[in-house]
């Protein structure tokens, strides 16, 4: 790697220096096809000498396989793109895509406008799509041409493999823990109503409550701490005998705790609170948060890798969620 040539080297330069044709140079650089050991060596030397770096855009153009992986987030407003969860997904995806010479783009998918997916499908620079917060409606609108290069973090469909945390059993574990520690008046703060993947934990909740003959108390949420604050007040007002709150996000749970504290309700003494995600700060709060783990990074990596590889993925890949018992419940 020589000092910066002012114009970055191209494969043509490499070929010339190595005394071979561009085709041969291409074969050894891309590691595809045949080449004599001698040629191999001389090309390698030239690459090294020139500090040659292949241009993924040119390669993608000729092979027709795109240079951008799109993370497409469904939601009611573009504000969903500011969500910390989304940023974690994008960050992890970017890390995986970099070695492949692929960049990550971040799109908002307006609910009820499934047409925006067609746009992505017709953009030849898009090598694939990772859907986040999908709905059944959106899944149905996935164009044929996207098949095999689209996956979903959340619910999936026949055409769209899904990667998600096993939130059904995760929720079950948390709820059983609440029950086992004597809680009987358990309220749940859910995710947005339109979001299918937040329905699973609700199912788990309803089922368990029914089995145990306990009242079902569900409050809609949106994963934010602010909503947690509000929900706690509402819960207390509607159900004064409340002895536990299960929130579907750690942020929300912390909001619940903050609100409870402000009102002089002790946690976990009077009311136990549990969350979902196990964010790093969950261990630092007072009381430390009881929650269930959520390997967002690993899920995003798996989803992005599946798109990049282009191999047919399993219809559903579930990542385990583990109960983490701390102080709040």
Partner DNA sequence: GTGAAAGCGCTAACAA
Partner DNA sequence: TTGTTAGCGCTTTCAC
Q: Per CB under 7 A, which of residues 29..48 are in contact with DNA?
A: 29-30, 32-36, 38-39
Is 172 in contact with 205 (CB distance < 8 Å)?
no
| Site pattern 182..221 for a second copy (x: CB under 8 A) | ----------------------------------------
106 lines the binding site for a second copy (CB under 8 A): yes
For residue 4, count other CB atoms closer than 10 A to its CB.
Answer: 8
Q: Which does 111 bind (CB under 5 to 8 A by kind): a second copy, DNA, none?
A: none
Q: Per CB under 7 A, which of residues 56..75 are in contact with DNA?
A: 58-59, 61-64
- For the bound state, the minimum distance from the C-beta of residue 43 to DNA, rounded and expressed in Å, comes to 9
Q: Are strands 103-110 and 68-75 parallel, antiparallel or unpaired?
A: parallel
Q: Convert 237-264 to b/e letters by CB count within 10 Å (16 or more is b).
A: eeeeebbbbbbbbbbbbbbbbbbbeeee
Q: Which of 24, 249, 252, 285 binds DNA (CB under 7 A)?
A: 24
Q: How many residues belong to the site for a second copy (CB under 8 A)?
A: 70
Is 231 in contact with 189 (CB distance < 8 Å)?
yes
123 lines the binding site for a second copy (CB under 8 A): yes
Burial of 22 (0-12, 13-18, 19+ CB in 10 A): middle
- For the bound state, the minimum distance from the C-beta of residue 97 to DNA, rounded and expressed in Å, comes to 17
What totals of helices (H) and strands (E) does the chain contain, helices first? Answer: 12, 12
Q: Which of 16, 103, 317, 325 binds a second copy (CB under 8 A)?
A: 103
Q: Please say which residue, 11 or 271, places its beta carbon nearer to DNA.
A: 11
**Hey, what are 104's tokens?**
């990550």
Q: Residue for token digits 């009311």?
A: 271
124 lines the binding site for DNA (CB under 7 A): yes
Contacts of residue 231, defined as CB under 8 A and 6 or more positions apart, other chains included, come to 189, 219, 221, 245, 247, 252, 255, 256, 259
- For the bound state, the minimum distance from the C-beta of residue 274 to DNA, rounded and expressed in Å, comes to 51
Q: Per CB under 8 A, which of residues 133..152 are in contact with a second copy?
A: 143-145
324 lines the binding site for a second copy (CB under 8 A): no
Q: Are strands 323-324 and 162-165 parallel, antiparallel or unpaired?
A: unpaired
Q: Per CB under 8 A, which of residues 229..258 are in contact with a second copy?
A: 229, 251, 254-255, 257-258
Q: What phi, psi does 108 have (nearest 5°)? A: -100, 130
Q: Which of 30, 57, 136, 212 binds a second copy (CB under 8 A)?
A: 57
> 129: which strand partners?
70, 150
Closest among 143, 183, 139 to 158, alpha carbons compared:
139
User: What distance in Å separates the CA atoms of residue 31 and residue 123, rounded to the nearest whole number?
Assistant: 28
Q: Which of 20, 186, 247, 289 binds DNA (CB under 7 A)?
A: 20
Residues at the site binding DNA, with contacts judged by CB under 7 A? 10-12, 19-24, 26-27, 29-30, 32-36, 38-39, 52, 54-55, 58-59, 61-64, 124
* Chain positions contacting a second copy, by CB under 8 A: 1, 4, 6, 8-9, 51-58, 60-61, 66-71, 81-82, 84, 86-88, 90-92, 94-95, 97-98, 101-107, 115, 118-119, 121-125, 143-145, 224-225, 228-229, 251, 254-255, 257-258, 261, 280-281, 283-286, 288, 297
């Amino acid at each position: 790697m020589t000092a910066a040539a002012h114009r970055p080297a191209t494969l043509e330069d490499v070929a010339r220096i190595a005394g071979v044709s561009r085709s041969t140079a291409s074969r050894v650089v891309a590691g595809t096809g045949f080449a004599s050991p001698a040629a191999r060596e001389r090309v390698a030397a030239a690459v090294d000498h020139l500090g040659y770096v292949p241009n993924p855009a040119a390669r993608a153009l000729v092979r027709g396989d795109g240079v951008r992986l799109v993370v497409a987030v469904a939601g009611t407003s573009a504000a969903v793109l500011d969500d910390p969860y989304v940023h974690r997904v994008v960050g992890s995806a970017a890390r995986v895509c970099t070695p492949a010479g692929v960049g990550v783009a971040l799109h908002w998918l307006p609910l009820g406008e499934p047409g925006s997916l067609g746009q992505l499908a017709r953009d030849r620079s898009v090598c694939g799509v990772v859907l986040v917060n999908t709905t059944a409606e959106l899944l149905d609108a996935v164009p044929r041409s996207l098949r095999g290069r689209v996956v979903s973090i959340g619910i999936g469909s026949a055409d769209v493999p899904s990667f998600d945390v096993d939130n059904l059993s995760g929720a079950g574990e948390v709820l059983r823990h609440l029950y086992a520690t004597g809680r009987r008046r358990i309220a749940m703060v859910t995710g947005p109503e339109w979001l299918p993947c937040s329905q699973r934990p609700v199912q788990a909740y309803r089922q368990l409550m029914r089995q145990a003959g306990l009242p079902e108390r569900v409050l809609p949420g949106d994963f934010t701490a602010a909503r947690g604050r509000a929900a706690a007040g509402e819960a207390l007002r509607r159900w004064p005998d409340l002895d536990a709150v299960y929130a579907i996000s750690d942020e929300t749970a912390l909001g619940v705790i903050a609100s409870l504290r402000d009102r002089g309700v002790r946690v976990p003494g009077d009311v136990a609170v549990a969350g979902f995600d196990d964010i790093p700060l969950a261990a630092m709060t007072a009381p430390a948060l009881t929650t269930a783990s959520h390997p967002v990074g690993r899920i995003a990596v798996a989803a992005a890798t599946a798109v990049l590889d282009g191999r047919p993925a399993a219809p559903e890949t579930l990542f385990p969620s583990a109960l983490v018992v701390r102080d709040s419940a």
